[in-house]
Amino acid sequence: MNPSIISVFLLITCLLIAPLATANEADFNQGKQAYLKKDYATAFAAFKKAADKNHAAALYWLGTMYQSNKFGLEADQKKMYALIQRAADNGHAQAAYAIAQRKASDFVLIWDNEDLSDAILLYEKAANLGHVKAQKWLADVHAPKRKFHGDINKHIHWIQKSAQGGDREAQFTLSEAHMQGVVVNKSKKEAFKWLEQSAKRGHVKAQTEIGKVYLSGFLEKEKNPKLAMEWLKIAGRNGSGEAIMVLGMILIIGEDVEKKPELGLNLLKQSAKKKYVPAMFKIGELYALGITGKPEIIKSLTWIHVAGLNGHPMVDKAKAAIKRKHGYGRAEMAKAKLRAENCIATNYTRCNYDSHKLTDYNKELLDDVTQRIKERNQQQTPQN
């Protein structure tokens, strides 16, 4: 057939279809506005009019109106899923995802199950229509740790798709992949791009990491302490104990900013209250180093023990190092342990106090230990 004739035919077809598509969209929009105003009768009529002409979104919204009786219709699960299936067949991403969720629930959805192939096909349909949650599901089911469906290439493929769709967790993961060169090219530029996008979308770990990037000049970024602190403050306000600790250490070290050790120590204690274990351990180290002007061994041992009770692996080595440098006996260690228990019991608010919320037995024991330390110190004090 003559190409010019084909072109004319296609043009005429488009001209005929365009008004119909516009009318369908107008009916759908009318239904959506009525739905949002809770005028469900008008919404139903408008959705049905567009749905009868296979408008994908109208089919989906109409289907959801059969979910319960609150829309003035008798709830009908069969009708609901029939309409949603038609919407999915007409390219509606959310409908395809809903169908995937429903039908996949018929399978035994254990990640390490070899019978997930049908579920994967359903989620792939939604994912290929751009549904981010479906893309994330596929990324997870293809994670390398999965016994039957683990596939690093597919895993990263769906991570990329969901990152491009705006998912902040996927963007953070993709940043790490570019940093390590896993499947994707190793690129500091790409790593930073996805890290920044993730941070801007509110990913707290990404906000912390981008602060550290600007602090260190990593990923080929110039050091920028001001910008580093801005990101770390954002992460801290969003609950990152690590970010608060890093801010504290910036003030304690005083490189590129005014040195404020007291404020820095307080920030580390705020980090500890958020149960960030490295901060607990660091506080213990700082007291041993004399951050307040002189070494405070019981405070140091208290925080080291708090870190140990929270699973820090370096506690025994730290205690041994403190003992070699400063010396302490069983009495000091007993007092520190009691304070550590008190610290945890008060949610890290009273870690340098002796008696708050202690049992009567522990109060008596602590008084005894304190008296023994006092007597020993008096015996060791040189007489004039």
DSSP-based three-state secondary structure for 95: helix
Alpha-carbon span 374 to 365, nearest angstrom: 14
> Do 251 and 295 reside in the same domain of the chain?
no
- Quote the domain boundaries for residue 307: 278-379
Long-range contacts of 128-134 (CB under 8 A, 24+ apart): 129/91, 129/92, 129/93, 129/96, 130/93, 130/165, 131/93, 131/94, 131/96, 131/97, 132/162, 132/165, 132/166, 132/167, 132/170, 133/97, 134/93, 134/96, 134/97, 134/100
215 and 250 in contact (C-beta within 8 Å)?
yes
> Do 238 and 287 reside in the same domain of the chain?
no
Q: Is residue 195 part of a domain?
A: yes
> Do 226 and 303 reside in the same domain of the chain?
no
> Do 211 and 179 reside in the same domain of the chain?
yes
> Do 288 and 368 reside in the same domain of the chain?
yes
Q: Is residue 42 part of a domain?
A: no
> Do 270 and 302 reside in the same domain of the chain?
no
Decide which of 226, 254, 274 is a domain's last residue.
274
> Do 171 and 249 reside in the same domain of the chain?
yes
Q: Is residue 101 part of a domain?
A: no
Q: Is residue 205 part of a domain?
A: yes
Q: Is residue 254 part of a domain?
A: yes
Residue spans of the chain under pLDDT 70: 1-21, 105-115, 352-384
> Do 196 and 241 reside in the same domain of the chain?
yes
> Do 173 and 265 reside in the same domain of the chain?
yes
130: left (phi over 0), alpha (psi -120 to 50) or beta: left
Q: Is residue 175 part of a domain?
A: yes
> Do 287 and 362 reside in the same domain of the chain?
yes
- Tell me if the pTM is above 0.85: no
> Tell me: the pLDDT tens digits for 35-69?
999 999 999 999 999 999 999 999 999 999 998 88
Looking at the structure of the chain, the number of domains it has is 2
Decide which of 248, 274, 300 is a domain's last residue.
274
> Do 174 and 260 reside in the same domain of the chain?
yes
Decide which of 219, 247, 274 is a domain's last residue.
274
Tell me the CATH number at 262. 1.25.40.10
Q: What is the model's pLDDT at position 370?
A: 59
